[in-house]
Amino acid sequence: MREEFSRGRRYPEPRHPYRSEFARDRDRIIHARAFRRLEAKTQVFTTRYSDHFRNRLTHTLEVTQIARTVSTALGLNSELAEALALVHDIGHPPFGHAGERKLDQLMRAHGAGFNHNLHALRIVEQFEHRYLEFTGLNLTFEVREGIIKHSRDYDASSFPQLAEYLLDLRPPLESQLIDWVDEIAYNTADLDDAREAELLDLGLLSAAVPLFGDAYDRVNRAYPAAKKKLKFSEALKNVLNALASDLIETTAARAGEASVATVDEIRRHPQRLAGLSEPIAAQNARLKQFLVKHIYTHPFITEDRDHSVSCLERLFHLFLGKRDSMPPDHEQQALTVPRHVVVCDYIAGMTDQFLLKQYRDHFAAPPETSSWHG
């Protein structure tokens, strides 16, 4: 995607003397308030046990690093890829996917729903207030399109509000890459954090995921006396490298076979072209299954998560039912916008810690969880 083919910004702006349009978008995202809040949102592991775990901000930086490498190796626009990676999780509510599922469920009772990609678009279009001449960040079309389309397709009949985003066409390769890069980043990082949390059984992992097991055996043969932690890191680095390299090679090969040379041809191609080869996709799937079976469902993760999500739910009902329970600007908004929408936006914008503090302020901690916050 070359910037001279960009469909531009909603509100036209003069060019910057020395930054490209996509570089400006990247910089606007980094300076956004919602971006800073990622620091206090859980990725998988809460900070209850260690400060070394990833949070959604450090996860985002890791995704960005891989996106830059992959997009550069493929000769794509790495500034666009970087902007898309930096913004890809900006719409996440507190408590990760569990928080998203709960908000969605709560909103369904009102005939609506919640989805972090759609929420991200509203953040960059409406909720960020930094500029005199427009609300939102006034990002280029391609970055807004990528926010919507980086992980899935939306059909125009169910999402009429997204009609401008060329829903019958594929997004540029820079955007197609993001979902894969995200997965490569979290599959490997979650193993690393699981090892830090001492939840990881290396023998079980090696047996379940030969891509890891073979890498670990190679490292073990070369450095039999090395510390287990370093052998693990080296093997994990090999896995990340194998996944990223395969993404680069497979995407390049598919683009070659499809003989697409321009962003328009990529858009019009019937399938997305970015992806992993079949054998590596199978290994990646096994890695994901391992994480679901042994890590994401471990009480170490689920206890904190279930407690937090129940706090979110109680706050939602409180804000919904009680006038003047939200800050004045939100209460003001609720005079013209359905109250459940305002409540959902208010909660979705909270960091984990802010939500838990709101919970403490509004509800006395029940006896069985009174020691939970330390």
- Closer to Mg ion at the Cβ: 89 or 192? 89
- Span near Mg ion by CB under 5 A; candidates 72-80, 163-171, 175-183, 268-276: 175-183
- Span near Mg ion by CB under 5 A; candidates 84-92, 133-141, 158-166, 351-359: 84-92
CB contact at 8 A, 103 and 347: yes
CB contact at 8 A, 40 and 353: yes
Q: How far is the CB of 85 from Mg ion (least distance, A)?
A: 9
Q: How far is the CB of 22 from Mg ion (least distance, A)?
A: 20
Q: How far is the CB of 127 from Mg ion (least distance, A)?
A: 20
DSSP state of 123: I
Q: How far is the CB of 59 from Mg ion (least distance, A)?
A: 6
- Closer to Mg ion at the Cβ: 231 or 272? 272
Return the SS3 of 373: coil
Distance of CA 161 to the CA centre of its chain: 22
- Closer to Mg ion at the Cβ: 29 or 315? 29
The alpha-helical segments, DSSP class H, found in the chain are: 21-30, 33-37, 56-73, 78-87, 96-108, 116-122, 141-149, 173-196, 202-208, 210-222, 228-257, 263-268, 278-290, 299-321, 328-333, 339-348, 352-362
- Closer to Mg ion at the Cβ: 89 or 145? 89
Q: How far is the CB of 297 from Mg ion (least distance, A)?
A: 19
CB contact at 8 A, 91 and 121: yes
Touching Mg ion, residues 258-287 (CB under 5 A): none
- Span near Mg ion by CB under 5 A; candidates 87-95, 114-122, 296-304, 333-341: 87-95
- Span near Mg ion by CB under 5 A; candidates 7-15, 21-29, 86-94, 330-338: 86-94
- Closer to Mg ion at the Cβ: 96 or 319? 96
| Angle, helices 78-87/173-196, rounded to nearest 10 degrees | 50
Return the SS3 of 287: helix
Q: By CB under 5 A, is residue 89 in contact with Mg ion?
A: yes
CB contact at 8 A, 104 and 361: no
Q: How far is the CB of 21 from Mg ion (least distance, A)?
A: 24
- Span near Mg ion by CB under 5 A; candidates 3-11, 182-190, 210-218, 255-263: 182-190
Write the single-letter amino acid at 332: Q
- Closer to Mg ion at the Cβ: 272 or 339? 272
What is 177-213 written as a DSSP string? HHHHHHHHHHHHHHHHHHHHTT---HHHHHHH-HHHH
Q: Contacts with Mg ion: how many residues (CB under 5 A)?
A: 2
Query: Cα(first)–Cα(last) distance of the chain, in Å?
Result: 50
- Span near Mg ion by CB under 5 A; candidates 9-17, 23-31, 176-184, 325-333: 176-184
Q: How far is the CB of 181 from Mg ion (least distance, A)?
A: 9
- Closer to Mg ion at the Cβ: 36 or 228? 36
- Closer to Mg ion at the Cβ: 91 or 136? 91
Q: How far is the CB of 316 from Mg ion (least distance, A)?
A: 24
Backbone dihedral region for residue 373 (phi beyond 0: left; psi -120 to 50: alpha; all else: beta): alpha
CB contact at 8 A, 10 and 124: no
Q: How far is the CB of 202 from Mg ion (least distance, A)?
A: 26
Q: By CB under 5 A, is residue 182 in contact with Mg ion?
A: yes
What are the angstrom distances between the C-alpha of 194 and each of 186, 189, 201? 11, 8, 9
- Closer to Mg ion at the Cβ: 287 or 311? 287
- Closer to Mg ion at the Cβ: 87 or 315? 87
Tokens matching residue 72: 């550069």
Q: How far is the CB of 290 from Mg ion (least distance, A)?
A: 19
- Span near Mg ion by CB under 5 A; candidates 81-89, 124-132, 234-242, 353-361: 81-89
What does the binding site for Mg ion look like in residue numbers (CB under 5 A)?
89, 182
